[in-house]
Every structure is written in C-alpha cells, then in structure tokens.
Amino acid sequence: MARPRTSATTEPVAFDRCLLDLDRLSAEQICELLRRASAFFTSTQDGFDTLRGRCVANLFFEDSTRTRVSFTIAAQRLGAHVVDLSAKGSSVAKGETIADTARTVEAMGIDALVVRHHAAGAADIVAGAVRCAVLNAGDGRHAHPTQGLLDALTIATEFGRLRDFDLAGLRIGIMGDLAHSRVARSDIGALTKLGAEVVCIGPPNLAPPSLASLGCSVTDDLDAALPTLDAIQALRVQFERGASIGTAREYAARYQMNARRAAMMKDGAAILHPGPMNRGVEISSEVADGAQSRIFLQVRAGVAVRMACLEVAMASSRVADDS
Ligand code: CP
C-alpha cells in the first residue's frame, strides 16, 4: 500500500519543542495532543510520512519496555529513523554527563531526544543543553507526561469522550504507591485539567495527604472508594525506590485490586495499570487478565500518543531552527 504523505490532522498545535511535564501545558494543548493521538489511534492508514528523513534518539538511562518500544514504533510509523542509547555500553558509564551526551548526539544530526532517567529533572537538563526537540520519557519521581496523556486517551476512549476530551462527571481512582510515582503526578495533572475528579488511594506512607495540593482528594480506604469510581489506575509498588508495605500479604489484604474488589465498582468501570505489574501485590492476575482490564488498551494508546507528541515537538523544533 502506498504510504500516505499526511498527518493525522492538519490543525496547528501551540507547543514548545520540549515535552517535559504536563504542568506546563494548558487544558487546550492537552486536548489538542489527544485529538491528534486519537486520529492516529483510530486511523486505518498503515503509515504516515511527516517525519521522513528525520532522526530520533532514545536516551534510556533507566530500564523500560513499554515507553522505549512505543516511542520507537511511533517514530518509525512517522517515517523517522531511530537510534538507541542506554547507560550501559555508552560513555555515560565512563562518567560523561547527560548534558554532554545529549549535545554529542545532537551534533550528529539528531532531531529529537527521548529521555528516560532515574533522576528527577534529567529531561530538563537535556532540554537546556540542546536545541532539538526533547521528550521526557520518565524522570525519577517527577513526571511521565506521555503516560499521563495515554491514560487520559484510554479513559476518553473507554467512556466515549473522544469528541471533546471532557472528562467531567468521571471519578477516577489512582491507587497504591503514589509517593514514588511519576505516573501519578502526570495522571493527576492530565485528568484534573480535563475535568475528571481524581481520588488518590493508599496507606498514608504511599498516598500522603499532601497530594491534595495537586487538586485531588486522598483516602486510605480503598473498599469505601471503589463503589464511587468509574475507573481505577493501580500503581506498582516501587520496591526499588524504597517503598515500604509490611508484607505483600498485608498490603494485598487492603490494597490489591482483586476479583472481589473489581466487582464492587460501578457497572462498566475500567481497571488500568501503567505497568510493569507486580502480579499478586497491587493487582491479582485474575483482574489484570480479566474483562474489566484496559491494560493493553493503555499500551496501544501509548503508540498513538507518542506519535502525536513526536510530531508536534519536532514540528516546533523545526520552526525554532528556521527562525
Ligand atoms: N509505564 C511505563 O513507563 O512502563 P516502562 O517502564 O516499561 O516504560
């Protein structure tokens, strides 16, 4: 089939060359990105050519499956070349700074850098060091903007809100280890800007009351919250960042999304998880693989969201180059 030389939409989007977190985007900009992503998501076309001849570098200095692969597929579907760099095997392992690495890669003719790093603020440092587009693929506990967007797209798809992405009237729970979660911060930012009511749920050490300053409510009582929710995002307990839950059995007794709890939710309620999952801890296999699970819809939405973000950021960086 001939590759169409079209974008998903021809509407312009006001957007900086960098996508670092969702706090810096207005509700209108988020809607516009989601509109583009939705067009990619529902398109029957097999390819787009808007980034033909351009090059995207994945700088992944922390492990990833979903984000790394979906950025790669997204860039390739738009016609771009992709190169991959990780800490192991690159000069970062010899002590090179991330800013020097970014400048070096940019000097080779890269048009966009996709940055995953264990330290909060790493993507900002890269953005300050280069002139090309920079997309944050998750930095420490700070932000994971494309995850926030893909979760919003998943919920909008599930509840028939693709026309205007107005999530008013939906009550969304985010449950588990919010304290260590960049996903939680980006989800709260995206969902509240689109009008959803967000409830953070977990034990106080993992869902601290201070989260309320982000515009959501906070509770430690999952069973009381469940019948009020249209969707819930179960978050991974991040043991590697020092999350403390007592025993897995004790935690599961109060905070595992299992079949009994799934049945307590509203009819048509959706269960999400950004992955990777700790099966048997924050989510049971029965629920992860069950009828209410939208986990693979999230994964699919991720490719479309990253196509939209790459296209817009790289269009903005080209405008900046030309000016
Ligand atoms: N959700 C997410 O960021 O998954 P990865 O760490 O596999 O990219």
Whether 240 lines ligand 1, by a CB cut-off of 6 Å, is no
The conformation of residue 277, written as its DSSP 8-state character, comes to: -
Q: Give the mean model confidence (pLDDT) for residues 282-290.
A: 98
Our answer on whether the CB atom of 275 is closer than 6 Å to any ligand 1 atom is yes
**Residue 302 alpha carbon, nearest atom of ligand 1:** 1
Winning range, highest mean pLDDT, from 5-19, 66-80, 84-98, 306-320? 66-80
**Cis bond upstream, residue 276 (ω within 30):** yes
Look at residue 240 in the predicted model and tell me its pLDDT: 85
Check residue 320 and give its pLDDT.
59
Q: Is the Cβ atom of 146 under 6 angstroms away from ligand 1? A: no
Residue 135 is predicted with a pLDDT of: 98
Element (H, E) at 56: strand 55-60
SS3 (DSSP) at 92: helix
Cβ–ligand 1 contact at 176 (below 6 Å)? no
Find out whether 319 and 60 touch, Cβ atoms under 8 Å: no
Is pLDDT at 4 greater than 60 in this prediction? no
CB-count burial class (<10 Å; 0-12, 13-18, 19+) for 180: buried
Rg of the Cα atoms in the chain:
19
CA 70 to ligand 1: nearest atom: 8
pTM of the model: 0.93
Ligand 1 centroid from CA 64, angstroms: 5
Residue range 197-202: mean pLDDT, rounded: 98
Q: Does ligand 1 have an atom closer than 6 angstroms to the CB of 147? A: yes
CA-nearest residue, atom 5 of ligand 1: 64
Residue 107 burial class via C-beta count within 10 angstroms: exposed 0-12, middle 13-18, buried 19 and up? exposed
What are the Cα distances from residue 216, in Å, to 167, 193, 196, 198, 219? 14, 11, 10, 5, 10
Please tell me the predicted confidence (pLDDT) of residue 3: 34
CA of 65 to the centre of ligand 1 (A): 6
Q: Tell how far the Cα of 67 is from the centroid of ligand 1, in angstroms.
A: 5
Gap between the Cα atoms of 306 and 2, Å rounded: 23
- Higher pLDDT, residue 16 or 135: 135
pLDDT digits (tens, 9 = 90+) for 77-132: 999 999 999 888 889 889 999 999 999 999 999 999 999 999 999 999 999 999 99
Ligand 1: atom nearest CA of 274 is 1
